[in-house]
Structure 1
Amino acid sequence: MINILICDDCEKTVNMIKNIVIKTYEEEMSFKEFNVLTFNSPTDVISYIKNCVGKNIYILDINLNEERNGLKLGREIRKLDKYTGEMIFVTNHIEASLKVFQYKLRVVTLIDKSLYLESELKESLLIATQILNKNNDKDEKRLVVKVGSEMFNILLQDIIYIETIKNSRKVVLYSINTTVEFYSTLKELMNLLDNNFIQVHKTSIVNKRYIKSVCKNLNDTHIDIVTGGRLSISRTGLKEVKKAWG
């Protein structure tokens, strides 16, 4: 999901930009996973970003009629998002373009409201969306699982643990959103997973992000999972957990 945050002190301009954004995504890009949020105040934008984790595109007016103008707002946003979002400025005062670079905000473009706003904004949205999706593809690794004629494309970060099924060649995968049974071995899966996964026993693999605690009782060595459940640990598995989880 991509969030498009529009901030302009003119309600008419906000609505115009919002309509361009919706038209661009729905009609020209056939892209449905987006959310448009509109603001008239920089303070409200900052409040939202402080509580929002996600992929953001910011469309900001440079000349806001407040003490905090668009450039200062952009600087505050960059302190919060660590340059992970994409920023587009719109203005009636194109002479302010040099200040954008002085603030080192890493923007997609600066658009003159009075000239080609719709066409320039459409092109800028396309570029910003491509950048966010490209970065997302790098970060969000996936495991593709075939179950009969169905294919499941599961984010590695969403996988909690995987365990074998007794007297079967199948395994069962537990993720945040689903549970899937399929034919595979833990050895094959370990070659497909990243270094966040630990084989803690001959019967199970766990994502270290979801380990709640480690119990090392004499006759009962196990890990508790944050979502509930418990997995036994072998001696080798315990060493791996200590190494990776601490």
Structure 2
Amino acid sequence: MLKVIICEDNSVHRTKLKQLVENTILREKLDLDAALCTGEPEEVINYIEKKHITGIYFLDVDLKNNMNGIRLGEQIRELDSLGFIIFTTTHLEMSYLAFKYKVEAMDYVIKEDYDFKQRIESCLLKAYNTYYKGNHKEGYISIKEDTRIINIKLCDILFIETTGVAHRIRVHEENRQFEFYGNLKDIQKKLTSNFYRCHKSYIVNKDKIEEIDIKNNKIIMVNGEECYVSFRYKGGLLS
């Protein structure tokens, strides 16, 4: 899932931007996570290094810190080559620095402009659509979950299983789980060849298998979670 990161040292602007981002995510039903909102650039760097994310970054150019927004953007670009960086500023004349430091910014949004809200929303939607529906379209599937559309990166899936509720299935990723209505037969048609139907109730990502317990008919995933393999499908999994 794409993360949205805000770094703004003015608490009023920070709150306003955070609310704008969260409202846009809810209204447009975007599969985005407003993960971090801070005035400290070090927190942003630490978060990226720890989580290894791809993000949408809203950075104040004139941070009252030992690192301005442009230099923060430079460090972000080194850690997240696919991320989307948007500078919010009252000093458009400083935008040339982004070229100097090879930041590759998506946009510069003037805080006092009348269309600030529309520009922020536009940046969010453009980044979202570019990442999920543009160059990164391959390797994703889209699932409707109640009132929103979730875009799932196939390489993040550990396994998919049925639940105790009729026509309700659960997707397991390393850091999250979610459910939606569907069936394994239909979802399998959307998956790539590294996914294998190992049981009537499970589809497993073979790239995420840590160990196969043949004696107990269990598959242990890279994060320690377990699913089952039936005798019928065991041969295909081991071949």
Q: TM-score range, shorter-chain basis? A: 0.5 to 0.7
CA-to-partner distance for each residue in 1:77-133, whole Å, 9 max, x for gaps? Answer: 1222222x2111011111111111222222221122233333332322332232233
Aligned residues: CA RMSD: 4.2
Instruction: Name 1:7's counterpart in structure 2.
Output: 7
Distance in 2 (CA, whole Å) between partners of 1:32 and 1:193 is 19
In structure 2, the gaps of 5 or more residues are 145-149, 162-168, 173-177
Structure-2-length-normalised TM-score:
0.66
What displacement does 1:223 show? 6.5
CA-to-partner distance for each residue in 1:153-192, whole Å, 9 max, x for gaps? Answer: 9965536378xxxxxxxxxx885356999696xxx99775
CA-to-partner distance for each residue in 1:14-33, whole Å, 9 max, x for gaps? Answer: 12322333444445x35585
Instruction: Name 1:133's counterpart in structure 2.
Output: 132
Instruction: Name 2:211's counterpart in structure 1.
Output: 213
In structure 1, the gaps of 5 or more residues are 145-152, 163-172, 241-246
Task: Mark the structure with the bigger radius of gyration.
Answer: 1
Distance in 1 (CA, whole Å) between partners of 2:21 and 2:170 is 37
Q: 2:107 aligns with which of 89, 106, 109?
A: 109
Distance in 2 (CA, whole Å) between partners of 1:100 and 1:53 is 23
Indicate the structure whose relative CO is greater, using CA pairs within 8 Å and at least 6 residues apart: 2
Amino-acid identity (%): 26
Distance in 2 (CA, whole Å) between partners of 1:154 and 1:115 is 33
Give 3-state SS (helix, strand or coil) of 1:75's partner. helix
Distance in 2 (CA, whole Å) between partners of 1:189 and 1:97 is 46
Structure-1-length-normalised TM-score:
0.65
Q: Is the 8 A contact 2:22 2:34 kept in 1?
A: no
What displacement does 1:61 show? 0.9
Give 3-state SS (helix, strand or coil) of 1:9's partner. coil
Distance in 2 (CA, whole Å) between partners of 1:39 and 1:154 is 27
Q: Is the 8 A contact 2:9 2:39 kept in 1?
A: yes
Correspondence list, 1:12-31, <5 A:
12-27=12-27, 29=28, 31=30
CA-to-partner distance for each residue in 1:202-244, whole Å, 9 max, x for gaps? Answer: xx9743134332568xxx697743333553443x653x3xxxx
Correspondence list, 1:178-189, <5 A:
none
* Code of the aligned partner of 1:78: R
Q: Is the 8 A contact 1:199 1:206 kept in 2?
A: yes
Instruction: Name 1:59's counterpart in structure 2.
Output: 58
Distance in 2 (CA, whole Å) between partners of 1:179 and 1:10 is 40
Instruction: Name 1:195's counterpart in structure 2.
Output: 193
1:88 paired with 2:82, answer no
Distance in 1 (CA, whole Å) between partners of 2:63 and 2:184 is 59
Give 3-state SS (helix, strand or coil) of 2:56's partner. strand
What displacement does 1:44 show? 1.4
Please, which moves more after superposition, 46-55 or 96-105? 46-55
What displacement does 1:58 show? 0.8
Please, which moves more after superposition, 205-214 or 71-80? 205-214
What displacement does 1:10 show? 1.5
Distance in 1 (CA, whole Å) between partners of 2:143 and 2:11 is 45
Instruction: Name 2:69's counterpart in structure 1.
Output: 70
Q: Is the 8 A contact 2:196 2:204 kept in 1?
A: yes
